[in-house]
Amino acid sequence: MSSIYHGQLTVSIFGQSHAPAIGVTVDGLPAGEPVDLEELQVFLNRRAPGTGNWSTPRKEGDQPEFLSGLSQGRTCGAPLTAVIRNTNTRSGDYADLRDIPRPGHADYTAQVKYGGFQDVAGGGHFSGRLTAPLCIAGGICKQMLARRGIWVGAHIAAIGGIWDRAYDPVALSREDLLAPGRTRFSVLAPEAGERMQAAIAAAKADRDSLGGIIECGVVGLPAGLGDPMLDGMENRIARLAFAIPAVKGVEFGAGFGVAALRGSQNNDPFYMDGGQVKTRTNHAGGILGGITNGMPLVFRVAVKPTPSIAQPQDSVSLSRGENTTLEIHGRHDPCIVPRAVPCVEAAAAIAVCDALLEQQRRSELL
């Protein structure tokens, strides 16, 4: 299994949902960066399971223990390793799933690839739980970016077809990005949030689940970050966003909507604003040719409905080679979207921080 992001920063995520611990090693962080552990905990709490009707009832404190890389509240240049102990596992729920794979989860593909040696309990290394260490790395990157005037935020754009107010991609402000994260259910329009929560409750009562869309923005970025072709900002962000289990799509700016537009509608006209080049619209989502253009960077991810639902489902017995019915008895999120909002912020923050470090180190060589 490869769970390593390679760039200026190397982010290596380890552990399984029901192993003694999960964790992350981040290599390449500049020395001397302050890490506010209280602020980091507030960020991790936004993702932690066990609170809210939309969450799995599995309660975990999700308090990181730093084993290396920090000294006197700052990064010390050594690889930073943090672990989170798993304290509330119920592995018996997974006893049947090695033989009878859950539709929509990774049980079947893991069985094929790892020949039965994979850890099935709690989804093993495939679990959404592994986004907690992603958020440790991303939370530290968010703090580094904020000190440089770069702000990352996200909100629930839609759940089950109910839409929140969208970001204004031209006039997106720091406050728009930060406000949803101060509430337990991260939306811009509280009324839309209430309707979404009711829809989740209804799906749960039907022993079903819901999916949705998360919109993420970054403001304060300089123009010129990223590269063409394989190392564009889109590529870098998408690679990290797809590390979040259940993410099935990523679109930047107007995204798939561009397909229905004419060039005259989709092009973002340039204009001068106090010596700065800006665009009047932002269908590009702040990226042209893989490189930031100084406008807000905006992207959305599609999150599928939670695969583990309590309804009986068709599956197969792999040992007997025959069709069967599966009933899942476990503790699952009826909707992954609300808890995945900080995970998307973490993915964006790591990608942007990495690109900035690369840019800085390149220019230092000249």
Ligand X SMILES: C=C(O[C@@H]1CC(C(=O)O)=C[C@@H](OP(=O)(O)O)[C@H]1O)C(=O)O
> Count of CB atoms within 10 A of residue 294's CB?
16
Distance CA 276, CA 145 (A): 22
Residue pair 226/290 in contact by the 8 Å Cβ criterion? yes
Q: Which residue has the tokens 């611990």?
A: 21
Q: Of 16, 25, 127, 209, which one interacts with ligand X (CB under 6 A)?
A: 127
Report the relative pairing of strands 212-219 and 247-252 from DSSP bridges: unpaired
Query: Per CB under 6 A, does 17 bind ligand X?
Result: yes
List contacts with ligand FMN (CB under 6 A).
56, 105-106, 123, 126-128, 131, 244-246, 304, 306-308, 332-333, 336, 339-340, 343
> Count of CB atoms within 10 A of residue 356's CB?
19
Distance CA 159, CA 306 (A): 12
- 204 in a labelled binding site: no
Which contiguous run of DSSP H or E holds residue 204? helix 190-205
Tokens of 358: 């690369």
By CB under 6 A, which span of 8-16, 52-60, 184-192, 254-262 interacts with ligand X?
Answer: 52-60
Q: Of 125, 129, 155, 300, which one interacts with ligand X (CB under 6 A)?
A: 129
Choose the one of ligand X, ligand FMN, none that binds residue 93, judging by a C-beta under 5 to 8 angstroms depending on kind. ligand X
Q: Of 7, 69, 128, 169, which one interacts with ligand X (CB under 6 A)?
A: 128
Residue in the shown chain whose Cβ atom is closest to ligand FMN = 128
Query: Per CB under 6 A, does 133 bind ligand X?
Result: no
- 279 in a labelled binding site: no
Nearest distance in Å: CB 184, ligand X: 15
Q: Looking at this protein, which amino acid is placed at residue 106?
A: A
Give the C-alpha distances (Å, rounded to integers) separating 213 from 24, 154, 238, 247, 314.
Answer: 26, 10, 15, 9, 27
Query: Per CB under 6 A, does 96 bind ligand X?
Result: no
> Count of CB atoms within 10 A of residue 260's CB?
9
The sheet with strand 151-159 has its strands ordered as 162-163, 151-159, 212-219, 297-303, 247-252
Choose the one of ligand X, ligand FMN, none that binds residue 244, judging by a C-beta under 5 to 8 angstroms depending on kind. ligand FMN
By CB under 6 A, which span of 123-131, 200-208, 231-239, 294-302 interacts with ligand X?
Answer: 123-131
Choose the one of ligand FMN, ligand X, none that binds residue 17, judging by a C-beta under 5 to 8 angstroms depending on kind. ligand X
Choose the one of ligand FMN, ligand X, none that binds residue 86, judging by a C-beta under 5 to 8 angstroms depending on kind. none
Closer residue to ligand X, CB minimum distance, 33 or 345: 345
Burial class (CB in 10 A: 0-12, 13-18, 19+), 219: buried
Main-chain phi, psi angles of 244, to 5 degrees: -85, 115
By CB under 6 A, which span of 54-62, 175-183, 316-324, 358-366 interacts with ligand X?
Answer: 54-62
Residue ranges binding ligand X (CB under 6 A) = 17, 49, 56, 58, 60, 89, 93, 122-123, 127-129, 132, 245, 330-332
Residue numbering of the annotated binding site for FMN: 125-127, 289, 304-308, 331
